Structure 1
């Protein structure tokens, strides 16, 4: 995994003509940020606006679905957001050159770079009618960067209102994990009271982020 992350950094920086010198790793890998769709996130850059470095720094972004030939998006320059971006109204650069993204969308997931390099992970749940009568599919997705879509070394799990992990298939539900970081829970539509299901991303028995979905009749 570490070799893959370093390769991604190199590709990310080389495409915009930026040297890896001055870009920093945190701990034994890149900084990772986990957020839910609809939340806000503040990605720190680690410098002060009064520093000469700040005016020279750019926020760069590579989207989740990007392939090797996709262009890098320049979010900011000279401390200001690129107003030509479709999501410019949700972006701002703070006094210490950090990047604030409001009302996160799933397509905001991806690779971000400033003085630190980080991956932004966004957890979402969507619902749709199942192929089986009187059932509904709840799809939980954790998006970050295309090459990391296998979820390794973590996994997505579903739990019910009692905190019991749901797995396999029975008369009440069916769990279908995908190769990508996606898990589909198929459940009966409730008749009367609503039901609560929680999707969790777990690494080494630690919950990195979770999201609750309340299913009504």
Structure 2
């Protein structure tokens, strides 16, 4: 307060908005009312984050560092243009939904999503105007129940699931590589490339092959995320995300933020 009993609030944020009442005496007859409206400006460009299905995702919220809780934080999610916006977190509390068991907030009010899958991809917004796009790289096989002990072919499908849909990936942005890092195109020893259609690329390989195959998503000549596959069903990933994140280790997968 200053000398005139005006209420001074430093470094305001959306949690400070609302109705304020000033009472100068013991009664309410002389009450003064002030409505505080806070105009928030986006503090940065939308963040694109890339993960492999099954990992733990950490979506940042540009919350004011002076806030000591997440009680004013909301998180919203929209999978694509054709689906309504869903409230995932209200006033710091994860809302009840089929996905709520995998969600939580950390001390910075970042949204944590465990064991992410295609349902988790899309656009997210924190109430502090933090826009995050969660993109998932997923490798699946066709047929999914193929017996790896028998000789035969299997088709690997590499899909990037994102908010803008399966048609939004530039041509030649999904690449298949062998264990030496050479790109697999056309048909060769133990493989046949089916090419890329939108955000899906397929590669047919022999079940008895012990070679490792890698799928990469490349944007502006930079590898954003990659996953590896072997006939035993073993997969791993290396993710390249935004520059202000630190090196983390999720389960047995190394995740590097560069």
Q: Same fold (TM over 0.5)?
A: yes
Aligned counterpart in structure 2 of residue 118 of structure 1, from 122, 129, 132 = 132
Shift of 1:173: 1.8
CA distance in structure 2 between the partners assigned to 1:147 and 1:122 by the alignment: 12
Q: Which residue of 2 aligns with 1:187?
A: 205
Normalised by the length of structure 2, the TM-score is 0.65
Shift of 1:154: 6.8
Richer in helix (by share): 1
Tell me the number of residue pairs that the alignment of Structure 1 and Structure 2 aligns: 188
Q: Paired residue for 1:151, among 169, 172, 177?
A: 169
Q: How far 1:149 sits from its partner (Å)? A: 3.6
Question: Structure 2: how far apart are the matches of 1:142 and 1:120?
Answer: 10
Aligned counterparts of 1:177 and 1:92: Cα–Cα separation in 2: 39
Within-5 A mapping of 1:63-82: 63-64=79-80, 66-67=81-82, 70-82=83-95
Structure 2 spans left out of the alignment, 5+ residues:
1-37, 145-150, 234-258
Shift in Å, 1:22:
2.7
Which residues of structure 1 form unaligned runs of 5+?
1-18
Please report the RMSD computed on the Cα atoms of aligned residues, expressed in angstroms.
2.8
In the TM superposition, what is the alpha-carbon distance from 1:158 to its structure 2 partner?
A: 0.4
Structure 1 CA distance, aligned partners of 2:89 and 2:61? 12
Instruction: Kindly indicate whether the alpha-carbon contact (under 8 Å) linking 2:166 and 2:200 is maintained by their aligned counterparts in 1.
Output: no
**Retained in 2: the 8 A contact 1:106–1:122?**
yes
Task: Give deviations 1:88-139, integer Å, cap 9, x for gaps.
Answer: 1100012221101111112211011113111101111011239xx9210000
CA distance in 2, matches of 1:117, 1:153: 26
C-alpha separation in 1, matches of 2:68 and 2:172: 40
Q: 1:103 aligns with which of 108, 115, 118?
A: 115
- Aligned-partner Cα distance in 2 for 1:172–1:178: 19
Query: 1:127: which partner in 2?
Result: 141
